[in-house]
Structure formats: C-alpha cells, structure tokens
Amino acid sequence: MGYCDLAPDGTITPNPSLGFRLEPSTLFPRLPRDAGQAQGGWEGTGVVDGSLSRYKPAPPSQSDPDTWGFEAVRTTPLDPVYLFTSRNRYDFDRKRGVIKRVETEHSQGYGFKGKGTGTTELTSVEGRDSDWVRSFAEESARFFEASGAYQALLTQASKDPEGVNALLSKAESTLKDARATLTLPVLREQVDAQLKDHARMTSYYAEEAKNRAAVLGKDAAEWETEDLQGEPHSMKGYRGKVVVLDFWYRGCGWCIRAMPQVKELAEDFRGEPVAGLGMNTDRKEEDARFVVEAMGLNYPTLKAEGLPEKFHVRGFPTLIIIDQEGKVADVHVGYSPTLREEVSKTVRGLLDAK
C-alpha cells in the first residue's frame, strides 16, 4: 500500500511509500495536454520504474459515447535484457474523468518465456462522508509514518550484528503500536501483513548482519580470475586503489535495475584511483556478454562464479567497497534508488582520507 501526489496536469510526485514495485502511472496514465496530442500521440514516464509510455488514440474496448480509448507501448530499462514487450489499452470515462478499464498484453523472451494478458476494471465507486475521509487521512498518516520507521529499523538491523535482535524487536513493536491506534480495517490488514512478513524474515536480517560483520573491516579475500576478453585480474593487482565489486547475474532484475547507477559511478571516478568491476556469476558466458552489450557497461566484467562465497554474498546485487589497503570498507546489499549517492560518499571519503 502506498500513496502519491497527483497534480491536475497528471504529474505524479513519488515518495518512499511506493517502494520499488508500486508504479502509479499504470493506474493514472498521463493524459494528452491538448487536442493536438490527443490526435497525434503523447508520452508519459514512470516515476518508480523508469518506464516510458508512448500513447496514441485507439477505439475503446466497448462502444460507448462517454468512453474515449487510447493505447500505450510501454518500455523500461530492463527490456533489452529480458526481451520484454508491454502494451496497454485504456478506456477513459469522460464524465467521471477516470480510467475505467485497462487491458494489458505482455511478453518476455528470457527466463520466464511466454506471453500474457490481463484486465483491470473499475467495478464500483463508494461515497464516503467527511468524517470518514478525515479519519482515513489521519490514520493513513500514522500508518505510513510507522511503516517508514519500521523499514529504517530493518535496514539498521541488517548492518548491526550486535544489536540486530534488539532492533528487530523494536521494529516489530513499532508496527504493533501503530496497529493499536488504527480502526480502519484496510489499514489494520496492511499492518497484519507486515507483521506476518516480519516473523518470516527475522532470521534473514540476522544472517545479513552476521555476514556483513564477517567481512567489514577485514582484509578482502584474495581472488584471481579473468574478464570476458580473457584478460587476467586479481585482488592483489588492484592494491592501492579503491575497488568496487558489483556482484550480479542476468536473471537478477534488481541487479539490472542498479546498473545505470553503477555506470554513473564508473564515470564519476574515471581518472581517479578507483576500479569498478562487474562480478558476473552466470554459468553461461553468453548471458554475461548479452547484458554487457545491452546495458552498454563501461567497466570490466569479470567471471566471478564461486567468488561470492569469499565475501559472504547471499543477496544480489551486492556491492563490496574495498579501500586502498585491501580492507572491506562497506557493503551494499540489494537495489536502492540512492545507490550511486551512497557508494559515492564512501568512495570519496576513502580518496580524501589519503
């Protein structure tokens, strides 16, 4: 469950409640600015997934004078890697000013190969009085505040092996305390779902903290391998430089989503004593080569099968930052929209310290 600010012109302002999976533009597509666009076509961008939708008018799915139809071909940065295609057809209710039906078609050529269709339809509208709306607004604010605090505590727990249990307990209490103040079923159900996930994931966060402690501040594991061109590389060969190891594989969607930021990092520190290395774990070299070409990677990609274990890597992507003396300075697990900023801060700090 998330929220967003939707302006009259169709602009969507994102916020952390959307996470990485809730993309408002799928339900609130950008509408044409004027009659010219309505006839000739227009574009809209996703605020979360980086998608681009190209719209054009089309007949509605059902004959109705109050319905205006249009369709969109949607592309995302992941399409070249997973061979995605996506097309949506929208029915817009002129009187209500809302989308009342969306028909989707999509296909994928890598991994889960196949085609699919789906329909989302507005089936009913319920009116609420001002007291309910006021209560919903107040309780939603409390829910999202508690949810944000909960996520922050989980992140802290995964990085603190000594305090992980106390932090996880505090995170759980944060949700339970919030639930006690909520009366609306839809919000209480959300908290119940989070509490259920929390019970399932506590061991994961404890293990993440343990793995982080096993490498952070320690000498980086030694390794030798070669890149996709057959050139040799080793940990010893990069001594004296700050090294960023990005562990990834083709089937990891979050890895691919993080790559544009990793590419930007490579450009940010080009010409400085910093080495950015893609650590690919695909069993088929052709998959690694495909991604390198499709994403236009501007840094070496190494054959790293068997190397994640040396750094206690469990989740992908994982970025390991190693200082000039060969010690692990930081670990970043998973995708983050601020990954570039976070890694850059650590790298710049290591460079300035010299």
pLDDT digits (tens, 9 = 90+) for 261-277: 999 999 999 999 999 99
Under the banding of pLDDT at 50, 70 and 90, the label for residue 327 is: very high
Q: Which residues contact 189 (CB under 8 A, 6 or more apart)?
A: none
User: How many CB atoms neighbour CB 231 within 10 A?
Assistant: 9
Distance between CA atoms of residues 187 and 179, nearest Å: 8
Q: Give pLDDT, residue 16.
A: 87
Q: What angle do CA 218, 220, 224 make, to 5 degrees?
A: 165
Averaged pLDDT, 329-333:
94
Would the pLDDT of 164 be above 80? yes
Averaged pLDDT, 200-210:
89
Do the Cβ atoms of 194 and 182 come closer than 8 Å?
no
What residue ranges of the chain are covered by domains with CATH 3.40.30.10? 224-353
β-pair partners for 225:
233
* HSE-CB of 128 using CA atoms within 13 angstroms: 8
Would the pLDDT of 354 be above 80? no
Averaged pLDDT, 191-201:
94
Is the pTM for the entire model greater than 0.75? yes
Distance between CA atoms of residues 287 and 249, nearest Å: 8
Q: Give pLDDT, residue 184.
A: 94
- Both tokens of 54, joined, read 């190209």
Under the banding of pLDDT at 50, 70 and 90, the label for residue 38 is: very high
Q: Which of 244, 236, 288, 294 is nearest to 265 (CA)?
A: 244
CATH number of 224-353: 3.40.30.10
Averaged pLDDT, 347-353:
94
* Residue pLDDT, tens place only, 220-247: 999 999 999 999 999 999 999 999 999 9
Q: Give pLDDT, residue 50.
A: 82
164-180 and 130-157 are packed helices; what angle lies between their axes, rounded to 10 degrees? Answer: 170
Distance between CA atoms of residues 243 and 222, nearest Å: 13
